[in-house]
Chain A
């Protein structure tokens, strides 16, 4: 049975250029090979940590939205755990996937808008790029 999953992982800040993308594309490939879907891939960029993780002060955040089987997800979880460049990862089963950019991606301006109009769903992806 297929379910919705969200995967967030954090890559070391001193990773070689392209490494973050290659980890994400490796995962995407595993899922695609099983005939399942990655509905959204977000590279949230280098972000400061609230506390150090393995003596690192920042990391590259990546978010994947996946519609797939639990066996595939278990395999991804295993791969992420083995990979030394991944500082931390979180795999969640969710009720539904949000295809709008996540709050991690949104700039400050957008967030202020969201708070003042709390809960309104009118913000499309177009409004955010500016």
Chain B
């Protein structure tokens, strides 16, 4: 929400933000590492476009969808997840961009 600063030095702040975003992704990578798909199996999480708590686990700090190679979500579930996230965005439950 630091608008004034943002406009003065857009490229540099953007770089810095993308860097923190990457760092955040790396951190999530470590959290998810060594596990199978969180949506597969008997006790798996359910994908639901209304469930902001679950969806936000698979979003970066900027609100981007984290790649499945990081979160180890299987390809089938990643497609479902992406669709659910996009529906939640449409209903203004989660932001399109987080800046």
Contact = CB atoms under 8 A, between A and B. Distances in A.
A8 B17 CA distance: 34
Interface in B46-99: 46, 48, 50-54, 87, 89-96
Interface residues of B, number: 21
B43 A50 contact: no
Contacts of B44: 118-119
A118 B38 CA distance: 10
A120 B43 contact: yes
Nearest to A87: B92
Interface of B: 38, 42-46, 48, 50-54, 87, 89-96
Interface residues of A, number: 21
Contacts of B53: 103, 111, 114-115
B90 A49 contact: no
B91 A8 contact: yes
B45 A51 contact: no
Give the interface centre of B42, B46, B89 by most chain A CB atoms within 10 Å.
Answer: B46
